[in-house]
Each structure stands twice: as structure tokens, then as C-alpha cells.
């Protein structure tokens, strides 16, 4: 089946630093999505990307849909303590199903 | 945001018992999904439905079943619970338009003893 490789698995950063994480796949996707999960809650959609090469921002978050349609990255600028959580990438191919990466656990030290 | 509700939030059951986890959404979404989340595996798809009376197997469907008798609900049943099914279960829904993002519930933590 389709698999996504998400890296890094975890990050420990200081408040104010920028963060970058990415996902790669051997398969082509039509949509890339980035979710954040807080402890004890379900994943919440941060950014959705629908076109190859698309660059989209949501506040301090920026994500890009790779030109090859096989990768995507998420950047967080000027991190704050509430950015702590697990970030998941997800890809959609020709169906409504999502394939998820295994997540990047972000820790922000004040 | 009460658009998708899972119940119970926590459940402890014994091996061999039948367990049903509820998922209810008020968005009138056509698509509904069940995922399980385990350390080291991320989110894995169990079953999904594209509409009433439609159900499909995901990548880890063995030991689970679903039914879709109306738009709002997709209950997940563990026919005979096993310790390997101890996990956090998430329900999600989407409108059914092409490549529409999924919206998740807050999960059910199931422990099988």
C-alpha cells in the first residue's frame, strides 16, 4: 500500500526558533494535508494543498505541495509553547481515503 | 466544535467481549472513516463508508466491522476483543466532494484486558 515517510520523528526546539518538517512518498498524491494533534484530542486540519507547487500560509505556518506531487513540507516560524504537539502529513490519491505519515512530535522549550 | 462526537471517551473491556464504539456527526457528511492510532504506527484506516449502506475495508480491518444505516452514524464493532486491539480509535468524516479534507472526533481510548 501507499506509505508516507515523515521526518523528523521528533524535534526539541527553543521558543522563537523556526521549525521545518517534511513528508515524502513513492506515490503521487492529488492533495496534501497537514494536521496537528494535541494530547487527548483528535487531529485538527492546519493546511490543505491541492495543486503541485502550491505554497499556502496559515498565520505562522507555511506548507508547500511539491512539484513532483510526491512530497510536501511544513514550516512553523517563530515557534511558541502552544505549538507543542504531534504534526501529521496526509496524502489523498484518487479516492477520499487519507494516507498518514507517522507524525513529528514537537517540543518547544520556553 | 461538536460536529463529530465519539463515545465513550474511555472503555475498558475483557478479551473475547463484543464492544461497539459510537461515532455521530451532524455535518451531513457522506464519508465516514475509522482509524486506530498506535505508537510507532501513526493512524491506520480500519473501515470507511461513502454513504448509507456502503462500507469498505481499510488496511487493518480484521476483527472489526461497521454498518451505515443512516448518514449521521458509523458504529465500529469489535466482534471478540483482543489485547492487540488496545488502542486509541478516531472517527472522521468528510463531505464527499473530491479530495475533501477529513475532520476528526476526539477519540475513544480502548483497553482490552
Q: What is the pLDDT of residues A41-60, one digit of tens each?
A: 999 999 999 999 999 999 99
How far from the centroid of its chain's Cα atoms is residue A20's Cα?
A: 9
Mean pLDDT confidence for B62-82:
97
Residue B1 has pLDDT above 60, yes or no: no
Residue A1 has pLDDT above 70, yes or no: no
pLDDT of residue A98: 85
Residue A93 has pLDDT above 90, yes or no: no
Mean pLDDT confidence for A5-34:
95
Mutate to test the interface with B, among A96, A99, A102, A104 (most CBs of B within 10 A): A96
Mean pLDDT confidence for A29-47:
94
Mean pLDDT confidence for A6-29:
95
**If you measure CA to CA, which chain B residue comes closest to A6?**
B42
Work out the pLDDT band at B99, boundaries 50, 70, 90: low
pLDDT of residue B35: 96
List the one residue out of A76, A5, A72, A70 whose CA is nearest residue A36.
Answer: A76
Q: How many CB pairs under 8 A join A and B?
A: 53
Tell me whether the omega of the peptide bond preceding residue B8 falls within 30 degrees of 0, making it cis: yes
Q: Does B46 touch chain A (CB under 8 A)?
A: no
d(CA A75, CA B60): 32
Grid-cell match 472522521, residue found: B92
pLDDT of residue A3: 77
Q: Chain B residues with CB inside 8 Å of A30's CB? A: 99
pLDDT of residue B98: 66
Residue in B99, B103, B106 nearest the CB of A45: B103
Q: Do B45 and A98 touch (CB under 8 A)?
A: yes
Q: Chain B residues with CB inside 8 Å of A48's CB? A: 101
pLDDT of residue B95: 87
Residue B50 has pLDDT above 70, yes or no: yes
**Are the C-beta atoms of B1 and B100 separated by less than 8 Å?**
no
- Average pLDDT taken over every residue of chain B: 93
List the one residue out of A5, A3, A16, A24 whose CA is nearest residue A80.
Answer: A16
Work out the pLDDT band at B96, boundaries 50, 70, 90: confident
Q: Does A28 touch chain B (CB under 8 A)?
A: no
Work out the pLDDT band at A71, boundaries 50, 70, 90: very high
CA distances from A105 to A13, A47, A95, B108, B109 (A): 11, 17, 28, 21, 20
Residue in B31, B50, B101 nearest the CB of A45: B101
Q: Chain A residues with CB inside 8 Å of B7's CB? A: none
pLDDT of residue B18: 97
Amino acid at each position: 500500500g501507499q506509505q508516507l515517510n515523515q521526518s523528523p520523528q521528533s524535534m526539541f526546539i527553543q521558543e522563537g526558533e523556526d521549525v521545518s518538517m517534511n513528508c515524502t512518498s513513492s506515490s503521487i498524491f492529488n492533495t496534501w494535508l497537514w494536521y496537528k494533534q494535541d494530547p487527548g484530542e483528535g487531529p485538527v486540519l492546519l493546511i490543505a494543498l491541492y495543486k503541485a507547487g502550491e505554497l499556502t500560509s496559515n498565520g505562522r505556518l507555511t506548507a508547500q505541495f511539491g512539484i513532483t506531487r510526491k512530497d510536501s513540507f511544513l514550516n512553523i516560524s517563530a515557534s511558541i509553547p502552544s505549538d507543542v504537539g504531534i504534526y501529521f502529513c496526509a496524502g489523498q490519491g484518487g479516492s477520499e481515503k487519507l494516507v498518514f505519515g507517522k507524525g513529528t512530535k514537537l517540543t518547544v522549550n520556553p | 466544535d461538536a460536529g463529530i462526537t465519539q463515545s465513550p471517551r474511555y472503555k475498558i473491556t475483557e478479551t473475547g467481549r463484543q464492544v461497539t464504539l459510537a461515532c455521530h456527526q451532524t455535518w451531513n457528511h457522506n464519508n465516514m472513516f475509522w482509524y486506530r492510532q498506535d505508537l510507532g504506527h501513526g493512524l491506520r484506516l480500519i473501515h470507511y463508508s461513502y454513504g448509507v449502506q456502503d462500507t469498505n475495508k481499510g488496511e487493518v480491518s480484521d476483527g472489526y466491522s461497521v454498518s451505515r444505516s443512516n448518514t449521521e452514524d458509523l458504529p465500529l464493532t469489535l466482534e471478540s476483543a483482543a489485547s492487540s486491539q488496545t488502542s486509541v480509535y478516531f472517527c472522521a468524516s468528510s463531505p464527499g466532494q473530491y479530495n475533501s479534507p477529513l475532520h476528526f472526533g476526539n477519540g475513544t481510548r480502548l483497553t482490552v484486558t
